[in-house]
Structure 1
Amino acid sequence: MSLDDAATKPHERMQAALADDLAAVGDLIRARMASQHAPRIPEVTAHLVEAGGKRVRPMLTLAAARLCGYDGDAHQKLAATVEFIHTATLLHDDVVDESQKRRGRPTANLLWDNKSSVLVGDYLFARSFQLMVETGNLRVLNILSNAAATIAEGEVLQLTAAMNLATTEEIYLQVIRGKTAALFEAACEVGGVISGQDERVVTALATYGDGLGVAFQMADDLLDWGGAGGEIGKNTGDDFRERKLTLPVIRAVERADADERAFWKRTIEKGDQQDGDLEQAMDLLRRHGTLEETRDVANGHVANAKAALSILPEHPLREMMIDLADYVVARLN
């Protein structure tokens, strides 16, 4: 989901507030993605890292730490760690999904090859663990290593859930908590841990990250169907064509009559998609109200995320984090 299309951009205000930290993180990323013996590593990494991503996840680590009064520099290493984990997963995802574009540019696997993307992703995972260790904080290492495992688990679960009409809402939530929310949660949580905050604050930051990440992915999934109104546009229906079961479809399948279920079985399980099927799928989602319901569920996760921050002290960064949570679902309302 792009964060560029709404009138206000809280992530840009956050970038300005954290400009010095972000510059230091950028320098650290460039230094650690270097390789003395394998020049392809920085070539592939730079293609993705320098492609204009918002760096929301590492920003959340920096913001959480600064919000908690941290004044050291270990949070910068943790932010770089989070970005390396995220970049590694993108490289691997593009191979798995056979993607050809990422952030408006050809993917690394298309420009180089699948082997390069996978191996460079592995290298970045290794670099991320080196950075974690340098903070000297075992709990941080535990949180981020668990997140890396959860991300991989979520991606594998998505493979088994795809194209399967038996996929439940519970499985869907497990997938998006793995593939997306886990890193949001860990990014926020380690900011509190490195600051030496008590459990109440650390838990609040983790809860915020989880709610934000779940809402972020749900919004992305809903926008693929044209938003809550189901408006067909240029990129509408990519998930349908790829036969992915996201929340609007899962709920529509649960309520389907025999004819509707036969439609979903043909288009999703068998992959037999014909002209007009996307429009019919949209009509079924509208008929059962699952687009609006998905918007409401995403908004509920945003509300939980914002409520979690209420125990933290008043601070401009706290308000930016609250605004960011509102922002990821703004186009759904």
Structure 2
Amino acid sequence: MNNYIDKEIAIFEKEYFKNIESGVDLIDKIVKYLCKHKGKMLRPKLAIYTANLIDKANDKTYSVASLVEMIHVATLIHDDIVDESYIRRGWPTISKVWKNKISVLVGDYLFSKALTTTVKLGDLKSISILSNASDRLSKGEIFQIQQARKKNMTEKMYFNMISDKTASLFSATCELSAKTVTTDEEKISSFKKFGENFGIAYQIKDDIFDIIGKTDDLGKPSNFDLKRNMLTLPLIHCLDSLKGNQKADFLTHLKSLSKRKKIKEIIFQINKYDGLDYAKEALDNYIVESKKNISNFPNNNELISFIDNVFYGKK
């Protein structure tokens, strides 16, 4: 990563963690834990890249970076409760350390801080953008669980679902950030589309790594989505490749296997029907589209390098 984004993110992080302190000892203790085990800060980085590619990041840009990161972290905390996940980024989750009741409330606290920060932008359109993203995010998460229970997810459903549950916040990040430095609707729209395509690609990558990644590299258990019966693109392609009664027979067969054998059989079938290659091709297509969205902006080489590092660098 180049020095300019590293310096800007270092400044951002200092202010971000200071802003989410509450004066309540327990909350602030958890904030320190989050600070110690922070994530990649992808959304704040995209917010800063977006603004600087159009003009120059300002205080409102940093507010956008803060509020989207608050929402992202809040959703992760709630997701870990729903998924009964005990490891994230190689460390015990908030719900593992402080149990579910406190975790729910801390997630709610971060959502409320994000809302307060959004209001301070002083722009009803920005509130509408964020509200829409939050609505899509929640519906996408619930839809995924619903279809996993039904064991039914078409490819069209899948792309609509990941657009909602993952890409919506990336899209809102870039759209809101663009709005902090320009009123040019064409430029704002370009970054909105960029965020959408970037987010879809990011979820496909995550789905691929759930199958091929190792626990130590992922910072969470490998095959986590498969173990929860989530229907991701590699598996959907595999199921779509089964002819006649093969799909029903395969699903029935899985019920008779132990959890460990079940995962091995699913991965075997995914490889047999080139599910990973199919997903990688889709991933590459969305990466190409995301780059097209910013192709008209001069000096976009740093953002292009960032995209390549996210998708083709180490997990």
Q: Confirm or deny that 1:92 pairs with 2:78.
A: yes
Report which structure shows greater RCO (CA 8 Å, sep ≥6).
Answer: 1
Post-superposition offset of 1:331: 6.5
CA distance in 2, matches of 1:275, 1:66: 48
1:157-306 matched pairs, under 5 angstroms? 157-226=143-212, 236-257=222-243, 258-267=245-254, 270=255, 272-273=257-258, 276-306=261-291
Distance change in 2, residues 1:174/1:273 (3 Å): farther
Partner of residue 30 from structure 1, selected from 17, 35, 38: 17
Post-superposition offset of 1:50: 2.9
Partner of residue 309 from structure 2, selected from 321, 324, 327: 327
Choose 249-258 or 57-66, whichever is displaced more.
249-258
Paired residues of 2:47 and 2:65 also in contact (CA < 8 A): yes
What does residue 216 of structure 2 align with? none
Post-superposition offset of 1:306: 0.3
Post-superposition offset of 1:304: 0.5
Q: Over aligned residue pairs, what C-alpha RMSD do you find? A: 2.2
Name structure 1 gaps, 5 residues minimum.
Answer: 1-11, 228-233
Three-state SS of the structure 1 residue aligned to 2:212 is: coil
Paired residues of 1:180 and 1:217 also in contact (CA < 8 A): yes
Distance change in 2, residues 1:287/1:77 (3 Å): same
Three-state SS of the structure 2 residue aligned to 1:263 is: helix
Paired residues of 2:21 and 2:31 also in contact (CA < 8 A): no
Post-superposition offset of 1:224: 1.8
1:118-157 matched pairs, under 5 angstroms? 118-157=104-143
CA distance in 2, matches of 1:304, 1:173: 15
CA distance in 2, matches of 1:226, 1:165: 22
Q: Confirm or deny that 1:61 pairs with 2:47.
A: yes
Residue by residue over 1:60-87, the C-alpha shift from the partner in whole angstroms, topping out at 9 and shown as x without a partner, is: 1111111111353111111111110111
Amino acid at match of 1:21: E
CA distance in 2, matches of 1:126, 1:289: 44
TM-score by length of 2: 0.90
CA distance in 2, matches of 1:274, 1:110: 23
CA distance in 2, matches of 1:176, 1:184: 11
Choose 294-303 or 50-59, whichever is displaced more.
50-59
Choose 65-74 or 300-309, whichever is displaced more.
65-74
Name structure 2 gaps, 5 residues minimum.
Answer: 214-219
Identity of aligned residues (%): 30
Paired residues of 1:44 and 1:117 also in contact (CA < 8 A): no
Post-superposition offset of 1:25: 2.2
1:71-86 matched pairs, under 5 angstroms? 72-86=58-72
Post-superposition offset of 1:103: 0.8
Three-state SS of the structure 2 residue aligned to 1:35 is: coil
What does residue 5 of structure 2 align with? 18
Q: Confirm or deny that 1:107 pairs with 2:89.
A: no
CA distance in 2, matches of 1:250, 1:181: 19
What does residue 311 of structure 1 align with? 296
Amino acid at match of 1:119: L
Distance change in 2, residues 1:222/1:271 (3 Å): farther
Aligned residues: 307
CA distance in 1, matches of 2:260, 2:116: 51
CA distance in 1, matches of 2:35, 2:158: 29
Residue by residue over 1:175-227, the C-alpha shift from the partner in whole angstroms, topping out at 9 and shown as x without a partner, is: 21222111111111111111124111111111111111111110111122227
Paired residues of 1:201 and 1:311 also in contact (CA < 8 A): no
Paired residues of 1:82 and 1:183 also in contact (CA < 8 A): yes
Amino acid at match of 1:319: N
